[in-house]
Chain A
Amino acid sequence: MTSLWIATLGASLVCYLLKLAGFLIPSSILSKPRLVRINELIPVVLLSSLVSIQTFTSESELLIDHRMGGLIVAFIALKFKAPFPIMMLAAAFTSAIIYRLGI
């Protein structure tokens, strides 16, 4: 089995078990405010680090390239409350133009 299949099926299993666990364990653990705070921050830190890694790195090297142009446009689009698909299209379009122009 390739590592891509292992990642696909392994992550699917783990995520399903996490969903199921919520229906099987008592909901009283939600009363711990520290756990709630940390849990709300986990998506924030992971998504934010994924943004920076996917924009500024390539195979453990730091670099600034066409993707940054796309990200800046995505940022502006979100600032102006653009819908999600429009924001993504604008980012992809900008990045593709910069890449094709070879800047």
Chain B
Amino acid sequence: MRQNSGVSFDRRAVLRDSLSVSLPVGTYGAAFGAASVAAGFSVAQTCALSLLLFSGASQFAVVGVMAAGGSAISAIATGGLLGIRNGLYALRMSPILKFSGISKFLGAQITIDESTGVALSQESRGEPAMRYGFISTGIGVFIFWNLFTLIGAVSASSIGDPSMWGLDAAVPAAFLGLLWPRLESNRKRFAALFSALLAIALTPYLPAGLPIIATVSIALIFGWRSR
């Protein structure tokens, strides 16, 4: 068995797992970059979202709410609500990652769906492998996501009317793609259906962005009881 400074796990196997996730996920950054520019954000703002916010669903939400004519507060609230799960990933991963000092502040930024997912999938290889998977996937997604965001943003800013290229339909398709893997129970499927209907029903009566936030009430109602 190979020993690497007292830690024995197959680094190449973990790295292969993290690359197989981070490269394809990173390429979706091009879709975000294009959608963001189509929504009226500048290339600099688009890149700032990928560098500083760095969480796909929240980024699409901020851009989507602003594109629908919502206020900055609505965009921040919706993006923030979608960002709560990253905090829960951090809670889950914290005892395994054992970050201290500055690494806590750097590690926080790469605490996302993919880094947590790859780390949890390495459980059978032990905690050092989980830690290695978390960091390599987080950094990998960060590099590819930001690179492809820039490519998407720059190409979209030179094509004119976004509807001519279907960019206005690519955004709801992206949301549907992010939603799809979460619909594994009837509770979630019904919650999704009711919130889709509630949001459009409220749209004529509330300022843009608020109908989306109002659907959190459906999460409270459906999640209150255990069955």
In the complex the two chains form, what is the Cα distance from A7 to B78 in whole Å?
11
Residue of B nearest to A57 (CB): B203
Knowing A22-B90, A43-B82, the reply to whether A16 touches B172 (Cβ < 8 A) is no
Q: Could you say which residues of chain B place their CB within 8 Å of the CB of A11?
A: 49, 53, 58, 62, 75-76, 79-80, 83
**How far, in whole Å, are A4 and B62 apart by their CA atoms in the complex?**
9
Chain B residues with Cβ below 8 Å from A96 are 163-166, 169
Determine which of B104, B215, B223 lies in contact with A46 in the assembled complex, contact meaning CB atoms within 8 Å.
B215
Judged by DSSP, the binding face of B is helix
Q: Given B52, B86, B177, B223, which contacts A74 in the complex, CB threshold below 8 Å?
A: B177
User: In the complex, how many residue pairs between chain A and chain B have their CB atoms under 8 Å apart?
Assistant: 314
Interface residues on A, range: 35 or more
Q: For B111, give the chain A residue with the smallest CB separation.
A: A19
Which range holds the interface residue count of chain B? 35 or more
| Residues in A whose Cβ lies below 8 Å from that of B222 | 41
The reply to whether A7 and B75 contact each other, CB–CB distance below 8 Å, is: yes
Which residues on B sit within 8 Å (CB–CB) of A94? 166, 169
Shortest Cβ distance from B198 into chain A, in angstroms? 7
Once the chains are docked, how many angstroms separate the CA of A52 from the CA of B199?
7
Query: In angstroms, how far is the closest chain B Cβ from the Cβ of A31?
Result: 11
Which residue of A40, A48, A66 contacts B193 across the interface (Cβ within 8 Å)?
A: A48
B87 touches A69 (CB 8 A): no
A-B contact pairs, 13 of them (CB 8 A): A6-B72, A7-B72, A7-B79, A11-B75, A14-B83, A22-B93, A34-B224, A46-B81, A50-B78, A50-B172, A53-B200, A54-B175, A99-B166
